[in-house]
Amino acid sequence: MKAGKIIIPVTIVLAIVAFFVYLAVRDSGVYSKYDDIEIIETENQYVNDILQKISILDNAPVNVFSVQSFTNIDYDINDTHAKGFFGDTDYWKNILSRRLFVVYTTKYISQAKYVFERSEWTAEALQTIRSENRKLQNSDFINLAGNEEPRNELRKISEVLRLYDEITDFVVRCRNFSYLRYDLNNQFPIDDVKNMIAQAQTYRNRRELVRNCTRLQNDLAAAPTILFNAHVSYLNEKIRRLSAVSLENFHSQRHFMETLYTPFVNQINSLNNSDYGIDAGEFNNRKRILTENWQKIGGDVSERLLNRSNNLNLFN
């Protein structure tokens, strides 16, 4: 044996190499707080090219979705593996696919939060967030990331979307609210209206991220006016239908006043802005128009009934 020759165990050499590779990968940007994957050094240029693409994805801005970048890299991994450029095993395909998943999931979470923290939630952005959230939560890698945090973050995004949909459905119900029973004894369901207005206020007071969405907040703020308009439309339609009642249903002008005119006046008078809380000027104007329309019809019917009574008296 030659004097002075030092033999370093192979295991120590590999450990040192692995450590410096880890530092290089970490400093290159291809590293996530959710990532526990160690990538060994390789001279395979195909592997290194894809690692570089993943690094670029990791540094992508949060204000633009990276769906296409993820799709392209995922295709490159599978295509390169299929052509045998990773070797004879699935090792590099699995390692790179998992690394891509972890980096993209981290980036997606940041990009979704970027949308939720702003006032404008476009339909296009929400559609992307939905589809990507489903894709990531259904991925084979979701339970292999070694950390509950990304899974919890994806669930939080799902909850934001669920609440957004719940409020959107509620707004649609407000806009479509109507009552189609027009008999004199039927009255607009004011208790249902009060419950809906209270629910709108409850949604407005919630502290979740949906509060940032200006469109939802404006729609909820408009709920009392929308429901008031539905109430006024109901009363207008009722006026139209009641005005078509035949004079034969009344044996005198007094009978008309007692059985139809006054009861409906009471229904108009029951319209109360304490139930709606809308602009007082608008409320009073709309109510005044209802009252004047019904008074005009009542006056016309009363006059015709009086004339009929006078004509009958002429022949007696």
The answer to whether residue 15 scores a pLDDT higher than 70 is: no
Is pLDDT larger for residue 207 or for residue 118?
Answer: 118
Instruction: Specify whether the backbone of 189 is left (phi greater than 0), alpha (psi in -120 to 50) or beta.
Output: beta
Give 182's pLDDT tier (boundaries 50, 70, 90): very high
% residues pLDDT > 70 (the chain)? 85
Residues 60-100: tens digit of each pLDDT = 999 999 999 999 999 999 999 999 999 989 999 999 999 99
CB 297 within 8 Å of CB 245: no
pLDDT at 5: 43
Domain boundaries defined on the chain: 12-164, 177-314
Q: How many CB atoms lie within 10 A of CB 313?
A: 8
pLDDT at 149: 82
- Of the chain, the end-to-end C-alpha distance in Å amounts to 149
The answer to whether residue 29 scores a pLDDT higher than 70 is: no
The answer to whether residue 16 scores a pLDDT higher than 50 is: no
pLDDT at 126: 98
Is pLDDT larger for residue 79 or for residue 23?
Answer: 79
Average pLDDT, the chain: 88
Give 146's pLDDT tier (boundaries 50, 70, 90): low
The answer to whether residue 22 scores a pLDDT higher than 60 is: no
Range 120-149 average pLDDT: 89
Residues 184-223: tens digit of each pLDDT = 999 999 999 999 999 999 999 998 999 999 999 999 999 9
pLDDT at 141: 86
pLDDT at 306: 87
Range 172-195 average pLDDT: 96
Q: What is the pTM of this model?
A: 0.82
Residues 232-283: tens digit of each pLDDT = 999 999 999 999 988 899 989 999 999 999 999 999 999 999 999 999 999 9
The answer to whether residue 30 scores a pLDDT higher than 60 is: no
Give 314's pLDDT tier (boundaries 50, 70, 90): very low
Please give the C-alpha separations between residue 170 and each of 4, 121, 177, in angstroms, as whole numbers: 83, 18, 10
The answer to whether residue 172 scores a pLDDT higher than 50 is: yes
Residues 35-45: tens digit of each pLDDT = 556 677 889 99
pLDDT at 10: 45
